Chains A and B, each alone.
Chain A
Amino acid sequence: MNKLIRRVVTSLILIFVVATLTFFLIRLMPGSPYEVLYHQLLMKGMSQQQAADQVRSLLNATPNEPVILQYFQWVVQLFHGSLGNSIAQTGVPVTQLIFNALPWTLVTVTMGLFISFFIGIFLGVISASKRNSWVSGLIDNASSIAHAIPAYVTAVALLYLFNVVWHVFPSSGAYGITVYPGVNLPFILSFMYHMVLPVGTYVLTGLGSWELAMKATTITVTNDDFMMAARLRGLRHSTLMSYLGWNSILPLFTGFMLSLGAMFGGSVFIESTYSFPGIGNLFGAAITSRDYPVMEGCFLLTTTTIIVANVVADLMYSKLDPRIVD
């Protein structure tokens, strides 16, 4: 229990440090949301004075406040549970934007993770059992290549094939325009329908690492003395397989939660390709408009997700593997 508390405290500190670093990093970006808007207004034909006034009233902020002061305001806000307001979407709280976007990403990423994990493990076991045949080489190479092909390329290719060529799946959005979000069947069906391509992309790009890891651990465990011993004990085939399976999968669990973070990162590419209204898309848009608070919010949220996932992974692992003593 003591250990858990320590983990939580160090995690909180880590989150705070990361948040602080990114805060300053983001303020160092060339161009500011004020400039972006200011130039837009100038292009619309306003005079400089008019545009400046407009910016001030629209964004409700003084652009030239020192960064350090902005930081302290931000920290104070943070302790009140606020991430500030969006600059691009004037006045909308960042938390609201994030909580509107988060469920979509969370559901697709989790689905993608589970499906790629199971397919990867399945392929890994097959590859390990046919270790010296061409089947193994084919599976390994195909998985590694699928893993190495960038998510945005896979996404574009899937979009082209299944939307443009075959008209099977929709090209954008998380649900159809005729349904209302909520717990109702038409919405859930529509959501699942819209989810197929994004989840498919996560699966294709994610399964490679599971396949390779599973193959490696399966081969190691197969050659372990205890497997030989188990065979000579005349254990049933099903028992042998469960010995082999659990001992091979266990080491993969740590990676399971960690990859959640990588997938959140990949969502920037995948969601922007499918115009999927999740965190990745929000982050991408925030960068284009230099929407500082939204960028920070997304970054903070992703980091926190990864850290929480880490802690959960450790806890889960120590429950699953008796060798880990806590």
Chain B
Amino acid sequence: MSTVVDVKGLSVTFPTDEGVVRAVNDVSFSVREGESVGIVGESGSGKSTVAFALFDSVPSPGQISEGEVRFENGKNLLDMSEEERRRFYWSRISMVFQAAQNTLNPILRIQRQVEDIADAHNVSKKDAIARASELFETMYLHPKRVLSSYPHELSGGMKQRVSIALALLLNPRLVVLDEPTTALDVISQASVLRILDEVRRNTSVSFLFITHDISVISQVVDRVLVMYAGRVVESGPVRKIVTAPTHPYTRGLVASIPPLVGDLSGTKSVMGQPANLMNLPKGCAFYDRCEIRQPRCALEPPSYLPIDDDSAVACHVATGQDQGVNGP
């Protein structure tokens, strides 16, 4: 299967009064056609920044300091002209935002906003409306009513579904979903996830989910990247990550998932505070919170190494870089 997006050595820095903060540090990954990938991490782990970096739209004053982002082995996004980029956005890669409630223009009807997208990408307005209606229908929305509504006339869940429909409007190759369900109640959450799963099964579109809650996306992704303090610390197939996590941080994340049935006492959250990006330790960024730390971990950062065909991890202990506790 062909690669939809390929990210290499991506770093994003934020200048502050106290020095430069590396919010994303040498991150590489790729998403294949039809594949659904999740990026998981706490707030401040850099996962949302990665999402915006795919659009070269890192919130100011942040900037991409290194790396490249290529779609379908094409041109590096960062080298594209404004106009090239504008045409590229939404037709090839689109996004569903965290606060989808606020991502629609409050003073225009949905129909007009669909038409504006069509106009921007030289699609006939009629076709765009037809396609939007079709998408609304699959999302259990009343197309006519939604099209003639203003955003404030729709509920939060409806707006989120509208914004998913808008993201799929031009049949992009990749849809980035930044915490697509966080702002929703449990019922809407389930329905949105079901819709996304259907879309995934019925089309060749690729998804990149950004979330802090691994349990939410475990049903809708194939592969998971775990981020901590701006770096990818572990990656692998979702089944493996959930059932047999390798990195101590991933273990913590997985252990914090409450079981649907049964005893809650086994659930616990990852101990301690997220790493302070202003002041990262010399060695492993997770050192302070780690339950299996070794002396070496405080001294040098672990490299991100493959542990088998489809998984990789950055941990001295897990990869046996330290006295071979868990040898390959």
Per-position contact with A for B73-86: 1 when CB-CB < 8 Å, else 0? 00000000000011
Choose from A226, A321, A322 the contact partner of B103 (Cβ within 8 Å): A226
A246-B119 Cα distance, complex, nearest whole Å: 19
A323-B102 Cα distance, complex, nearest whole Å: 14
Closest to A228 in B: B57
The reply to whether the CB of B144 lies closer than 8 angstroms to some CB of chain A is no
Q: How far is the CB of A247 from chain B (nearest CB, A)?
A: 6
Indicate if the CB atoms of A232 and B107 lie closer than 8 Å.
Answer: no
Indicate if the CB atoms of A236 and B102 lie closer than 8 Å.
Answer: no
Indicate if the CB atoms of A224 and B102 lie closer than 8 Å.
Answer: yes
Indicate if the CB atoms of B120 and A323 lie closer than 8 Å.
Answer: no
The reply to whether the CB of B184 lies closer than 8 angstroms to some CB of chain A is no
Closest to B153 in A: A322
Determine which residue in B86, B94, B97, B152 has the highest number of CB atoms from chain A within 10 A of its CB, and name it. B86
Indicate if the CB atoms of B105 and A226 lie closer than 8 Å.
Answer: yes
The reply to whether the CB of A326 lies closer than 8 angstroms to some CB of chain B is no
The reply to whether the CB of B257 lies closer than 8 angstroms to some CB of chain A is no
The reply to whether the CB of A234 lies closer than 8 angstroms to some CB of chain B is yes
What class of interface size applies to chain B in its complex with A? 20 to 34
Tally chain A residues at the interface, Cβ within 8 Å.
Answer: 20
A133-B36 Cα distance, complex, nearest whole Å: 44
Q: How far is the CB of A236 from chain B (nearest CB, A)?
A: 5
Given A239-B116, A323-B152, A234:B87 Cβ within 8 A: yes
The reply to whether the CB of A6 lies closer than 8 angstroms to some CB of chain B is no
Determine which residue in A225, A230, A234, A239 has the highest number of CB atoms from chain B within 10 A of its CB, and name it. A234
Indicate if the CB atoms of A322 and B152 lie closer than 8 Å.
Answer: yes
Given A225-B97, A228-B57, A235:B107 Cβ within 8 A: no
The reply to whether the CB of B121 lies closer than 8 angstroms to some CB of chain A is yes
Which residues does chain A contribute within 8 Å of B109, judged by CB atoms? 322
Determine which residue in A229, A236, A250 has the highest number of CB atoms from chain B within 10 A of its CB, and name it. A229
The reply to whether the CB of B21 lies closer than 8 angstroms to some CB of chain A is no
Which residues does chain A contribute within 8 Å of B86, judged by CB atoms? 234-236
Q: How far is the CB of B152 from chain A (nearest CB, A)?
A: 5
Indicate if the CB atoms of A232 and B105 lie closer than 8 Å.
Answer: no
The reply to whether the CB of B90 lies closer than 8 angstroms to some CB of chain A is yes
Closest to B89 in A: A234
Indicate if the CB atoms of B90 and A232 lie closer than 8 Å.
Answer: yes
A243-B120 Cα distance, complex, nearest whole Å: 14
The reply to whether the CB of A3 lies closer than 8 angstroms to some CB of chain B is no
Interface Cβ pair total, 8 Å cutoff: 71
Choose from B57, B91, B150 the contact partner of A323 (Cβ within 8 Å): B150
Given A234-B87, A235-B120, A323-B107, A229:B97 Cβ within 8 A: yes
A133-B68 Cα distance, complex, nearest whole Å: 31
A232-B172 Cα distance, complex, nearest whole Å: 13
Which residues does chain B contribute within 8 Å of A243, judged by CB atoms? 105, 108
Choose from B85, B99, B105, B119 the contact partner of A230 (Cβ within 8 Å): B105
Indicate if the CB atoms of A232 and B106 lie closer than 8 Å.
Answer: no
Per-position contact with A for B101-117: 1 when CB-CB < 8 Å, else 0? 01111111100000011
Choose from B90, B94, B104, B107 the contact partner of A321 (Cβ within 8 Å): B107
Indicate if the CB atoms of A236 and B120 lie closer than 8 Å.
Answer: yes
The reply to whether the CB of A233 lies closer than 8 angstroms to some CB of chain B is yes
Additional 17 contacts, C-beta under 8 A, given A229-B104, A232-B89, A322-B152? A225-B99, A225-B103, A226-B103, A226-B105, A226-B106, A228-B97, A228-B103, A229-B163, A231-B57, A232-B95, A233-B89, A234-B117, A235-B86, A243-B108, A247-B107, A322-B106, A322-B150
Chain A to chain B: the 6 pairs with minimum beta-carbon distance, closest first: A234-B89, A229-B103, A225-B102, A322-B150, A234-B90, A235-B120
12 A-B residue pairs with Cβ-Cβ distance under 8 Å, sorted by A, are A226-B103, A228-B97, A232-B55, A233-B120, A234-B88, A234-B120, A243-B108, A247-B107, A250-B107, A322-B107, A323-B106, A323-B152
